[in-house]
Structure 1
Amino acid sequence: MFGDITTNPYHLETIIRSDLTKALRSLVPEMLEEARLAIPEHLQMTDSVTSVSIPVFPTMVHLVARVSNRAMIGAPGCRDEKFLKKQVSVAEEVIPMSQILNWFPVFLRSAVWKLFCVTVGAKDDAVRLVSPYVQSRIEYAQQVDPSQALDNPNTITDLLLRYAPEEDIKDVTKLAVRVVHLNMAAIHTSGIFTTHALFELARMPPQQVQEIRAEITAAIDSEGGVCNKSAVGKFYLLDSLLKEIGRFHSLFAVGSSRVTLREAVIADGTVLPQGSVVAFAPKPLHHNPQVYNDPDTFDPFRFAKLRRGDNTAHDIQQSFTNLSNDYIVFGIGKHGCPGRFFAALKIKVILSELLLSYDIAFPEGASHTPKPFAFNIFTVPNPTAKLVFTKRTV
C-alpha cells in the first residue's frame, strides 16, 4: 500500500520513538497558533455569530488534521483544504479496505488494492498534493545552518530529513508517502478522543467543567501566561478525562494482534500452536473491578484523584500516556504507540482552547448518549451527533 515504508520504517523507528518526543517543546507554539486560527473557522464562528450547532466528529477530525499538519508540514500547507480532505480520506478508505482485503486470497490482494486505488485514489492524491510542501522543507533544510534545523525543527518533516536516505531526498514522492502515512496515524484516533471528550464535557456538571478550566488557567499563569509544553503538562484534570475516555470508550474490540512464531504456553497452561493469532481484549481489562473501583461508572477525575502531587513515578503511572498491563489503549511494552505523546499534547491544546473560549452543550431535546458507529472491530463516535458551541463572555 505504501511502498518500502514497511521494510525500511525509519520514519517510525527513530523519529517518532525518540526525536519527535524531544521536539515537542518547539512544536507546541506552532500547534497552539494553528488551533487558535482554525477553531473559529471550523466552528463557523464569526463576529456576528455567537452560538452554533455542528456535527462534532467530522468537524474535530478535520480540525485535528489541520493542527497536526501545522506540526507535520507547517504553514501554509496545513491550510490547504484539498490536501487535508484527501489526507482525511486516506484513513477512511485504507483502514476499511485493509479489512476487506482479508476476504480475498493472498494472490489477489495486490490486484484488488490497485483496482481500488484507481477508482478511489485518496492516497495517491494526498501524496501528490503534499509533495510541494515536502519539497519546500527540503529546500529549507538545504539553506539554513544544519545545526539550527536539527536543534529547532519547525516541522516533523524536518525530523524526517535527518534520517532519509539520499534517494528519498532526491525523489520527493518517497518522502511524501511517509508524511501521508504518518498523518494517517495522527488524525483519526486523535479526532475520536477529542470528540469523546467534548461529549463527556457536555454531560458533566458545570462545576466540574469549571474545575478543568480553572486548572488550565492556573497552569498557563504558572508559565508566565504562556501555554507551552510545561503548562500543558500541568493539565492533570484534562489528562485524567482523556485517560478515562480511553478506559471507558474502547476504540477496538481487540487489538495488538500478534502471530506466534512457535508453540507457546501462557500463564494458565493454555498451549498456543505455532501460527496462532493472539490479541488483547481491552474491555475486560479496563473494566476489571480488581483494578478499577466501580469500573462501569465513567469518572472523569478518576486518575487525577490517584495523584499525590509529587510528580514521582506514582503520579506518572496515572498519566494518559503511561503504558501498563491494565491500560492498553496505546499497546504495551516496546511496541507501545510511539506517537502517543504528540497525540496527547495536540488533543490537550485543542481541548483547552475550546474550553476557554466556548461553553459546550447538547442541542435541546438531543440524546446525551449518541449511539456510536461500529465497523468490524472498530467503534467510533456517532458521526452525525451535534453539540452546541457558544462563545464565552468571561
Structure 2
Amino acid sequence: MAQTETLLQTLAAKLPLLLSTAGLLLAVFLAQVLLKENPLANLPVALDDLPSDEKRRQAYLTRAKDVYTSGYKKFKDRVFRIITSNKYHVLIVPPKYLNELKNLPDDTVSFDGAIEQTMHAKYTKLEIGHKLIPYIVKSNLTPSLVRLNPTIAEEVQESFRREMPECDDWTPVNINYKLLRIVAMVSGRVFIGPELSRSEEYVDAAINYTIDLMRAREAVDTMRPWLRPFLANRLPEVKKLNERLAQADAFIRPIVEDRRKLSKEQAPDDMLQWMLNGQSEKFGGEYKTETLARLQLGISFAAIHTTTMTTTNAFYNLAAFPQYVSVLRDEVREVLAQHNNTFTSPALQAMKKLDSFIKETMRVNPAGFASFQRRVNKPFTLSNGQVIPADVMIEVPGHAIAQDPEFFVNPDRFDPWRFYDIRQKAREQGAVEEAAQNQFVSVNPLVLTFGYGRHACPGRFFAANEIKMIIANTILMYDMKLMDGHDQRYPNIEFGVSSIPDPTKELLFKRVEIA
C-alpha cells in the first residue's frame, strides 16, 4: 500500500512534465503534417473561377465536357486537377506524356483499379482483375475472326430479319432498342453459341444486365462518397442489379455445368468453351462456376453496351447526313462483288470509307470525355519533373484532344471521309505506319476511344467487324432519315464523364428498291 502511494505521488509530481512533453510531441507531429508539401498543391484546377470544390463537383455532374475542354485549353501542356463526383483526386495528364504512361508497370498505375473505382465494383459486384478474358480474346477470339466473319455476317442478317419491320414505306424505328437486341444476338452467337444466343432468356439477361449495371453505377456516382458505405446497397438501382445478377446467374450457371461434362469432340466452338479450356491450360486450375457465369455477364456488358452506343451514334449521323448513305452503299456493293458477296476479313478491310465514317463518328461522338483511366498505386515522376502521387486517378482528356484544331482541321465539323483522306495521303507519301494508325481499329493517341497501350480494348477487332457488318447490311437494305420536323442530329445525353446517344429517339427507315 505504501509503495502504491509513493508511485502515485511520483507520477503526480511529474505529470506537468509528462503533459508538456506529450503536447510538444503532438505539436511537432501537427507541424510536420501541416508543413509537409502537398504534391497536388502546385497543380491548377479546372473551373478555378468557381468559388468552391462543391460548385466544381456539381459542374462535373451536369457539364463534364466543358470541365475537361476548358481545363485542357487553359492548361494544355500541364497536369491539372478536376473535381468529380467521387472522393478521390483526378489528375488530367496531357497527351504528350502518353508514351511515358503506357510504359509504367501495372503495380504503379492500375487499369483494373480504375475500373473498380469508376464502376463502383464494391457495390455493383462487377468482376475485376481476372486475366482469363483478355487472354481468351487475344489468343482465341481475334485469331478466329477470319474463320468466324461469314458466320457473324449470317447472324447479323438473321437478326435483322427477326427484329426489323418490313419498312415498305417510311417506318419509325427505335434503332437503339433494335440494335441492343441485334448486338446481343450477334455477340451471343460467338460468346455462348447459336442455340442459346437467340433465346429470349439470354437476350434479356445480356441486355438488361448491362442497363441495370450502368443505372446502378450512375446512382452510386450521384451519392456523396461518405454516404456510400452506409446507403449505397439500399439504392433501388443497386437492389435491382442484384436481382438481375441472381436471374442471370441462374440462367448461365447450368450451361457452364453442362459444358464441363462434354468431351473435347463434343465441345462447341465459342468463347464460353474457350474460357473453359483456357482456365486450366493457362491459369492452372478451374474457375468456380459462379465466377465463369459472372465473367460471361462481364463480357456481355463490355461488348453490348459499347458496340450498341457506337453503332447508334453512327446511325444518327447517317440519318442526319443522308447524302453520305449512297456513297457508302456503292462502296459496300463494289467490295462485296469483288469478294464473292461474302463479308470476309479482306472485304471488311477494303471498305475504307465505311471505316472512316465510323472512326469519325467515334471522334465526334465518343462514349466518354476522358480515356486512359488509371489508379495510381505508387508515386512516379513525369519527364518534366511533375510528381504524380499515389492514391489518385489519372486520365487523358480524349474528347478535348479530338477537338483540338492543332491536330484536326475544322474539328467541330463532322467529316465522314476525314480518316479516309488521311490514309490515302499517307499511302501516296509512303507513310505506311501513319496510314495504318488511322484505321478504325487502330490505337491512336489522338482518337482514344479504344484506350492506349497494352490495356487498349482487346475486343476492338471483333467489335469493329460486327459494327461494319451491321451498318453495311442496313444501308444495303434501307434508306434512313430523321423523324419529320427534325433537321439536326439528335444530341447525345451527357452525364458526368459519359456521353450516350439518346435511346428514346426514332429514325425513319424505308426498304431500298432493288432494280
TM-score by length of 2: 0.68
Q: How does 1:6-45 map to 2 (within 5 A)?
A: 6-12=128-134, 14-45=135-166
Q: Distance in 2 between matches of 1:265 and 1:24?
A: 41
Q: How does 1:35-114 map to 2 (within 5 A)?
A: 35-45=156-166, 49-101=168-220, 103-105=224-226, 107-108=229-230
* Number of residue pairs matched by the alignment: 382
3-state SS, counterpart of residue 423 of structure 2: coil
Alignment of 1:127 with 2:249, yes or no, is yes
Q: How does 1:215-254 map to 2 (within 5 A)?
A: 215-254=331-370
The amino acid across from 2:412 in the alignment is D
3-state SS, counterpart of residue 340 of structure 2: coil
Partner of 2:67: none
3-state SS, counterpart of residue 307 of structure 1: helix
The one of 162, 178, 182 equivalent to 2:277 is 162
3-state SS, counterpart of residue 350 of structure 2: coil
Q: Distance in 2 between matches of 1:4 and 1:191?
A: 20
3-state SS, counterpart of residue 76 of structure 1: helix
Select between 217-226 and 233-242 the one with higher mean Cα deviation: 217-226
The one of 313, 328, 331 equivalent to 2:433 is 313
Alignment of 1:379 with 2:499, yes or no, is yes
The amino acid across from 1:74 in the alignment is G
Q: How does 1:316-331 map to 2 (within 5 A)?
A: 316-331=436-451
3-state SS, counterpart of residue 199 of structure 1: helix
3-state SS, counterpart of residue 164 of structure 1: helix
Does structure 1 retain, via aligned residues, the 8 Å contact 2:145–2:462? yes
3-state SS, counterpart of residue 154 of structure 1: coil
3-state SS, counterpart of residue 257 of structure 1: strand
Q: Distance in 2 between matches of 1:76 and 1:350?
A: 21
3-state SS, counterpart of residue 391 of structure 2: coil
3-state SS, counterpart of residue 303 of structure 2: helix
Deviations 1:296-351 (A, max 9, x none): 11101100111236894332111011112212111111111111111111111111
Q: Distance in 2 between matches of 1:36 and 1:68?
A: 13
Partner of 2:380: 264
Does structure 2 retain, via aligned residues, the 8 Å contact 1:26–1:154? no
3-state SS, counterpart of residue 343 of structure 2: coil
Q: Distance in 1 between matches of 2:488 and 2:438?
A: 28
Q: 1:100 to 1:268 in 2, by over 3 A?
A: farther
The one of 301, 313, 321 equivalent to 1:204 is 321
Does structure 1 retain, via aligned residues, the 8 Å contact 2:209–2:241? no
Q: Distance in 1 between matches of 2:406 and 2:397?
A: 17
Deviations 1:51-97 (A, max 9, x none): 42112222212211111111111212111123212221212222342
Q: 1:289 to 1:269 in 2, by over 3 A?
A: farther
Q: Distance in 2 between matches of 1:32 and 1:140?
A: 28
Deviations 1:19-52 (A, max 9, x none): 2110112221222111111113222338xx5542
Q: How far is the alpha carbon of 1:157 from its aligned partner?
A: 1.7
Does structure 1 retain, via aligned residues, the 8 Å contact 2:320–2:487? no
Q: Distance in 2 between matches of 1:387 and 1:107?
A: 43
Q: Distance in 2 between matches of 1:132 and 1:10?
A: 20
Does structure 1 retain, via aligned residues, the 8 Å contact 2:175–2:506? yes
Does structure 2 retain, via aligned residues, the 8 Å contact 1:257–1:277? yes
Unaligned runs of 5+ in 1: none
The amino acid across from 2:217 in the alignment is S
The one of 353, 358, 362 equivalent to 2:473 is 353
3-state SS, counterpart of residue 290 of structure 1: coil
Does structure 1 retain, via aligned residues, the 8 Å contact 2:322–2:481? no
Deviations 1:185-240 (A, max 9, x none): 0001111111111111112243x322211211222222222222221121111111
Q: Distance in 1 between matches of 2:241 and 2:502?
A: 27
Unaligned runs of 5+ in 2: 1-120
Partner of 2:72: none
Does structure 1 retain, via aligned residues, the 8 Å contact 2:381–2:387? yes
The amino acid across from 1:350 in the alignment is I
Select between 304-313 and 208-217 the one with higher mean Cα deviation: 304-313
Partner of 1:370: 490
Select between 331-340 and 20-29 the one with higher mean Cα deviation: 20-29
Q: How far is the alpha carbon of 1:141 from its aligned partner?
A: 5.2
Does structure 2 retain, via aligned residues, the 8 Å contact 1:86–1:126? yes
The one of 448, 461, 467 equivalent to 1:341 is 461
Q: 1:112 to 1:254 in 2, by over 3 A?
A: farther
Q: Distance in 1 between matches of 2:477 and 2:258?
A: 34
Does structure 1 retain, via aligned residues, the 8 Å contact 2:322–2:480? no
Does structure 1 retain, via aligned residues, the 8 Å contact 2:478–2:512? yes
The amino acid across from 2:449 in the alignment is V
The one of 261, 264, 282 equivalent to 1:142 is 264
Deviations 1:131-186 (A, max 9, x none): 44445555555334xxxx6xxx73222321221248647x5443222111111100
